[in-house]
């Protein structure tokens, strides 16, 4: 499409068959990993399943997922900007502690200019890592407010779930994947995958251009407001 060639679905099917290319299904058995803290004070759901934003740094969504390696289970956290679907922060770790979520949040903050992000809503599910005092206090420090969906309801955090699904389909279980030795091996692959996802992968939400180009077009149209947008 970006090369200017129009091609129909049936022609794609014929070419894939001739080249022995098979599509990858994202319909795998979902294992519940959301463990909430019944004693934690939970923020309200400010999103209500509306994962659209009119500018960068208005709404981030985040979630945790797991990936098996030959050395044990790895855990991955992504932070996604709802405006462009860009992955602004991520972390791979051998555990699912609050620290990994804070590190992903810090990566996102630095990527967005290392300033206070006034008006930012950060939405997650109700697992204990996102209701912890350390996480909510850190959100307040960077100018963001928390938003939390209900327990075990994937629709309340659908955008983050979708990003996890694409990551597993295109990186973890992709056609070139042969499994992962350990967390370090997966982390390197995730770095490459995120860079491609942001800078090269075409997104229907963005009008079939990559998230980075989508945001560049926004800032070009609002050049005078580039620094103040979502930042103090």
- pLDDT of 217 higher than 80: yes
Supply the pLDDT for residue 106: 97
Least confident of 16-30, 79-93, 211-225: 16-30
pLDDT at 33: 52
| pLDDT per residue as tens digits for the range 114-128 | 889 999 999 999 888
Taking the mean position of all CA atoms in its chain, how far away is CA 10? 32
CATH class, range 9-225: alpha beta
Whole-number pLDDT of residue 144? 97
**CA-based nearest residue to 168, from 16, 60, 28, 22:** 28
Mean pLDDT of the chain: 86
pLDDT at 224: 57
Q: What residues does each domain of the chain span?
A: 9-225
Task: Give the lowest-confidence range in 12-16, 52-56, 129-133.
Answer: 12-16
pLDDT tens digits along 9-37: 667 667 666 765 555 555 544 544 555 55
Cα 16–177–193 angle (5° rounding)?
Answer: 95
Tokens, residue 211: 């998230």
The whole-number pLDDT of residue 226 equals: 53
């Amino acid at each position: 499409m970006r090369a200017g060639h129009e091609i129909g679905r049936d022609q794609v099917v014929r070419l894939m068959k001739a080249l022995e290319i098979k599509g990858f299904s994202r319909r795998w058995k979902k294992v519940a990993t959301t463990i909430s803290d019944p004693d934690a004070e939970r923020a309200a759901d400010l999103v209500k399943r509306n994962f659209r934003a009119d500018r960068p740094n208005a709404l981030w969504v985040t979630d945790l997922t797991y990936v098996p390696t030959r050395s044990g289970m790895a855990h991955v956290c992504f932070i996604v900007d709802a405006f462009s679907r860009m992955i602004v922060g991520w972390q791979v770790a051998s555990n699912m502690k609050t620290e990994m979520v804070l590190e992903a949040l810090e990566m996102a903050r630095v990527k967005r200019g290392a300033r206070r992000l006034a008006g930012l809503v950060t939405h997650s599910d109700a697992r204990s890592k996102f209701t912890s005092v350390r996480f909510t206090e850190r959100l307040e420090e960077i100018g963001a407010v928390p938003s939390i969906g209900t327990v075990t309801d994937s629709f309340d955090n659908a955008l983050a779930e979708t990003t996890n699904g694409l990551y597993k389909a295109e990186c973890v279980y992709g056609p070139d994947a042969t499994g992962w030795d350990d967390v370090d091996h997966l982390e390197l692959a995730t770095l490459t995958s995120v860079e491609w996802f942001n800078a090269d992968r075409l997104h229907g939400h963005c009008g079939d251009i990559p998230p980075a180009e989508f945001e560049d077009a926004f800032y070009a149209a609002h050049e005078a407001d580039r620094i103040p947008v979502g930042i103090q």
